[in-house]
């Protein structure tokens, strides 16, 4: 009698256990199906972000161009939105000037740093210097802007007396310093991935380290190096705070680096912070400028990806 | 002797070796320029800001006089910003990474999403500001609020987190995945209990670095309307807010020299927070990084 009861209890137990197991399985089975759907939604957000950026820039730019002729916008040489002159060329030359100065600073310094780190430095030295250089990339741009305005400009003024408080030169140099680690680090990665047997072959033929670096490693890592430079230049085009703080806000169709200028990015900040009301022409103009900027940087980024995938040398 | 001009060859070798040594010096000098600049920047900001950096500066609101101004509202604002960005960006970013690495078929669509993320990483931050202004501020009618700023920043750092998480997940060796499947675990069980724990240090490191980028960003928040002077703390997601970089930017723009020292003190606080976050990232990487 007692035994039968025990058996029954056990039976129930096993039955509930099986049922529980089944329930659990159906829950986890559902989870197994739901999770990929949820993860897909997460991945969709990044696509939607791109779509959102394109849609936003396009829609507001089209509204802008329904009032202002697109030809006048891209050929006009006077940018003074508050008096109704929307010629974007001064902003474009301002951006190009800053980018040019930054490139003149960053490309030689970045490349030479990369050659030093990859071809001359010992492992220990590289392990110290590379992360330290990368700290430069982690410093907020507002800090660079502050430094450009309060240190670099006064310093340059001792050499160039005619320099204004706000000028393209100081901002451009500091933007250049900011993108050095990008060129140095990515180029060094590219040079590091050149197999050692190429170096050793050249050294065995009697080449000096310099000849190995310039005639063997550099050509072999060329695509990676160019890609890193293009990427860094794209970063310089999109740089905002340094230019806003140190280069001033006077759009000018000039390539004189001692003058104050305005870039595409700097105008967007100015246009968004002023008394710009939603729906005014100036409000829409910041989107037209933003779209122009977006196209510039997108082209550069795609060029960089194209170069690094197309001209990659495989060993 | 057989027409080999030994003297000339030796001379040329000497020249080549000399050139090598000279350029080696030049390369080294170029490398140090970046380092010197970094040292100079830190030194200048330290000497300018240290005088204004005291407990009053950290606990005070902005004030019309430099001696009384403080970064309290900015510091709290930046921390609140992180409190919004971290959960949103981590869930979306890690979710995207798991989807791309573990679930998605390797077809054209996946490649499209991948390229799309790469391109998003290269979009200037100010363009995200424009997106946030149209979408969050005006279309969703969030206005110039903490939530609008936080969501904009989340989208900004999303690609960085996705790429870091993808690399971390990819570096989990397939042996332990297959061992998990072999034990009868389902796909999601394997991801949750095997892959994610193994990839966690890499994911966290990348995430912290992405968040420290969010803390330092200024431009997009200017566009989506962070306040420059705020005398109360935000009390809800729909409050006005300010962050440290915006305060620093505001002080930098004032003509009197004293404000530069205030700005430098603000930069010091910002850099200390960044240093702290990076130290955590390095700690996690060294402490929890397992080798398989």
Q: Tokens 């790469």 identify what position? A: B118
> For A199-229, how does the pLDDT look when each residue is reduced to its tens digit (9 = 90+)?
999 999 999 999 999 999 999 999 899 999 9
Per-residue pLDDT at B232: 77
B34 contacts A109? CB cut-off 8 A? yes
Q: In chain B, which residues have their Cβ closer than 8 Å to the Cβ of A143? A: 41, 45, 216, 248, 267, 270-271
Q: State how far Cα B56 lies from the chain centre.
A: 28
| ipTM for the whole complex | 0.90
Share of chain A above pLDDT 70, in %: 94
> Which one of A21, A40, A43, A202 would you mutate to disrupt binding with B, by most B Cβ within 10 Å of its Cβ?
A43
**Homologous superfamily assigned to A75-310:** MetI-like (1.10.3720.10)
> For A125-146, how does the pLDDT look when each residue is reduced to its tens digit (9 = 90+)?
998 998 888 888 889 999 999 9
DSSP conformation class of A312: P
Rg (CA), chain B: 26
For A78, the enclosing helix (H) or strand (E) is none
CB of B216 within 8 Å of a chain A CB? The answer is: yes
DSSP conformation class of B170: H
The pLDDT of residue A313 is above 70: no
> Which one of A146, A179, A239, A247 would you mutate to disrupt binding with B, by most B Cβ within 10 Å of its Cβ?
A146
**Homologous superfamily assigned to B57-288:** MetI-like (1.10.3720.10)
CA of A31: how far to CAs of A35, B80, B93, B186, in Å?
A: 6, 32, 20, 11
Whole-structure pTM over 0.90, yes or no?
Answer: no
CA gap A112, A116 in Å, rounded: 6
Per-residue pLDDT at B2: 61
Domain ranges of chain A: 1-67, 75-310
Per-residue pLDDT at B31: 93
**pLDDT, average across residues A11-15:** 72
Handedness of CA A49, A55, A57, A60 (dihedral sign): negative
Residue A79 pairs with which residues in a beta bridge? Answer: A86
Measured in residues, chain B has a length of: 292
CA gap B198, B7 in Å, rounded: 63
Per-residue pLDDT at A9: 56
Low-confidence ranges of chain B (pLDDT < 70): 1-3, 289-292
Two structure tokens written together for B282: 């390095």
DSSP conformation class of A277: P
**pLDDT, average across residues A248-263:** 88
Q: pLDDT band for A12, please (50, 70, 90 cuts).
A: low
- Do B99 and A43 meet the contact criterion of CB atoms below 8 Å apart? yes
Q: Tokens 């990368």 identify what position? A: A134
Per-residue pLDDT at A1: 46
Per-residue pLDDT at B194: 92
Per-residue pLDDT at A5: 54
Give the nearest partner residue to A120 out of B27, B123, B187, using CB atoms: B27
Per-residue pLDDT at A151: 92
Residue A86 pairs with which residues in a beta bridge? Answer: A79
> For A46-96, how does the pLDDT look when each residue is reduced to its tens digit (9 = 90+)?
999 999 999 999 999 999 999 888 888 898 888 888 888 889 999 999 999
A241 contacts B248? CB cut-off 8 A? no
Per-residue pLDDT at A10: 58
Tell me the longest C-alpha to C-alpha distance in chain A: 110
CB of B266 within 8 Å of a chain A CB? The answer is: no
Two structure tokens written together for B193: 């209990």
Q: Tell me the nearest-neighbour CA distance from B188 into chain A, angstroms.
A: 6
Q: State how far Cα A173 lies from the chain centre.
A: 18
- Do B96 and A39 meet the contact criterion of CB atoms below 8 Å apart? yes
CB-defined contacts A:B, below 8 A: 245
A138 contacts B103? CB cut-off 8 A? no
Two structure tokens written together for B280: 């955590």
Domain ranges of chain B: 6-49, 57-288
Q: State how far Cα A216 lies from the chain centre.
A: 30
State which residue of chain A sits closest to B120, comparing Cα positions: A50
Give the nearest partner residue to B212 out of A138, A231, A297, using CB atoms: A138
Residue A85 DSSP SS3: strand
CA of B205: how far to CAs of B84, B86, B211, B216, in Å?
A: 18, 13, 10, 17
- Virtual CA dihedral for B254, B259, B261, B265, nearest 10 degrees? -100
């Amino acid at each position: 009698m007692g035994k039968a009861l025990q058996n029954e209890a056990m039976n129930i137990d096993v039955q509930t256990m099986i049922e529980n197991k089944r329930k659990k399985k159906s829950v986890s089975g559902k989870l197994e199906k739901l999770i990929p759907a949820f993860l897909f939604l997460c991945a969709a957000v990044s696509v939607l972000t791109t779509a959102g950026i394109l849609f936003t820039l396009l829609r507001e730019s089209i509204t802008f161009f329904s009032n202002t002729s697109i030809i006048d916008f891209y050929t006009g040489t006077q940018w003074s939105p508050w008096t109704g002159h929307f010629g974007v060329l001064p902003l474009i030359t301002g951006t190009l000037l800053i980018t040019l100065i930054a490139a003149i600073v960053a490309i030689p310094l970045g490349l030479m740093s990369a050659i030093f780190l990859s071809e001359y430095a010992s492992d220990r030295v590289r392990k110290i210097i590379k992360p330290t250089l990368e700290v430069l990339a982690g410093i907020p741009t507002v800090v660079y802007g502050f430094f450009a305005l309060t240190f670099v400009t006064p310093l340059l003024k001792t050499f160039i007396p005619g320099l204004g408080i706000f000028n393209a030169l100081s901002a451009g140099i500091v933007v250049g310093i900011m993108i050095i680690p990008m060129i140095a680090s990515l180029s060094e990665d590219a040079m590091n991935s050149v197999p050692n047997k190429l170096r050793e072959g050249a050294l065995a033929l009697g080449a000096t380290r310099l000849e190995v670096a310039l005639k063997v490693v550099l050509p072999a890592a060329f695509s990676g190096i160019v890609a890193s430079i293009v990427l860094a230049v794209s970063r310089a085009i999109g740089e905002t705070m340094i230019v806003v703080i140190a280069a001033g806000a006077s759009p000018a169709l000039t390539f004189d680096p001692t003058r104050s200028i305005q870039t595409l990015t700097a105008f967007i900040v100015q246009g968004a912070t002023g008394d710009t009301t939603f729906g005014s022409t100036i409000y829409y103009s910041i989107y037209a400028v933003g779209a122009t900027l977006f196209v510039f940087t997108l082209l550069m980024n795609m060029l960089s990806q194209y170069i690094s995938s197309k001209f990659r040398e495989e060993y | 002797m057989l027409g080999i001009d030994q003297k000339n060859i030796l001379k040329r070798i000497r020249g080549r070796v000399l050139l090598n040594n000279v350029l080696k010096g030049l390369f080294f000098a170029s490398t140090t320029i970046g380092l010197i600049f970094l040292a100079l920047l830190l030194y200048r900001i330290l000497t300018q800001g240290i005088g204004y950096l005291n407990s009053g500066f950290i606990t005070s609101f902005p004030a019309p006089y430099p001696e009384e101004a403080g970064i309290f509202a900015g510091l709290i604002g930046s921390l609140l910003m992180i409190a919004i960005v971290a959960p949103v960006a981590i869930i979306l970013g890690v979710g995207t990474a798991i989807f791309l690495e573990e679930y998605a078929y390797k077809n054209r669509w996946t490649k499209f999403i991948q390229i799309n993320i790469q391109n998003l990483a290269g979009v200037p931050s100010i363009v995200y500001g424009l997106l946030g202004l149209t979408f969050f501020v005006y279309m969703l009618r969030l206005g110039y609020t903490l939530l609008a700023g936080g969501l904009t920043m989340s989208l900004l750092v999303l690609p960085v987190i996705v790429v870091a998480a993808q690399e971390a997940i990819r570096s989990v060796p397939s042996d332990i995945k297959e061992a998990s499947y072999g034990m009868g675990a389902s796909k999601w069980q394997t991801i949750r209990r095997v892959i994610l724990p193994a990839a966690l240090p890499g994911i966290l490191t990348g995430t912290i670095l992405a968040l420290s980028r969010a803390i330092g960003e200024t431009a997009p928040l200017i566009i989506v309307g962070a306040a420059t002077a705020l005398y109360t703390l935000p009390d809800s997601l729909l409050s006005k807010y300010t962050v440290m970089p915006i305060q620093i930017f505001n002080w930098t723009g004032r003509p009197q020299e004293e404000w530069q020292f205030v700005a430098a003190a603000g930069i010091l606080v910002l850099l200390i927070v960044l240093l702290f976050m990076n130290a955590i990232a390095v700690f996690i990487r060294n402490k929890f990084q397992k080798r398989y």
